Amino acid sequence: MPLKTFLAAACALVIAAPVHADIVILDSYARSSGPMAKAGAAFMVIENTGAEDDRLIAVASDKAKRVELHTHKEMGDGIMKMMEVEEGFAVPAGGMHHLARGGDHVMFMGLTSPMVQDETFTLTLTFEQAGEIVVSIPVDLDRKPMHGMGAAPSN
């Protein structure tokens, strides 16, 4: 998709997105592999519209016993492994950081309730500069990897 098209779609989503300091959370959603799943993940685009670099350093939610910032790493033998990123995710001034399937994500381990299609839950993101930002994350189990960015919501 051309960048322009993506940006236009992303901007359309800004309207409902919470704004705090210079960080904007776009196009967030969460999923798990099914009603019996004990774990899930959330994805979003973090935009820093300010003039200062920022960093997502912590996440918290009642949705799971443990919530962590994760990434996928290629282990050298074609195997992708998930691991916690203790230093968090940098979001440069005027830039974006994408949390997406197969890459960086917010990990929920030990779900306190199943992720049900179209339900929302609260996630608190803590940034070094912008502080705490509380977002409402919709569950979208149907969303296809790599396809959702900028596309119309599938629900």
Single-letter amino acid, residue 68: E
Give 24's strand partners. Answer: 19, 47
Strands 131-138 and 120-127: antiparallel
Q: How far is the CB of 44 from Cu ion (least distance, A)?
A: 14
Asked if 13 contacts 26 with a C-beta cutoff of 8 angstroms, the reply is: yes
Query: How many amino acids of this chain bind Cu ion (CB under 5 A)?
Result: 3
- Residue 107 binds to Cu ion (criterion: CB under 5 A): yes
Please name the residues in contact with 55: beta carbons below 8 A apart, sequence gap of 6 or more. Answer: 87, 88, 89, 90, 91, 127, 128, 129
Distance CA(123)–CA(106), nearest Å, equals 10
Smallest distance from the beta carbon of 132 to Cu ion, in angstroms?
Answer: 22
Tell me the per-residue interface mask from 66 to 85 with Cu ion, x by CB under 5 A, - otherwise.
----x-----------x---
Determine the interface stretch with Cu ion among 47-55, 100-108, 129-137, 140-148 (rule: CB under 5 A). 100-108
Stretch that binds Cu ion, among 21-29, 104-112, 124-132, 135-143 (CB under 5 A): 104-112
Instruction: Assess contact for 104 and 55: CB atoms under 8 A.
Output: no
Question: How far apart are CB 145 and Cu ion at their closest, in Å?
Answer: 14
Asked if residue 139 binds Cu ion (CB under 5 A), the reply is no
Which CB sits closer to Cu ion, 49 or 71?
71
Contacts with Cu ion by CB under 5 A lie at: 70, 82, 107
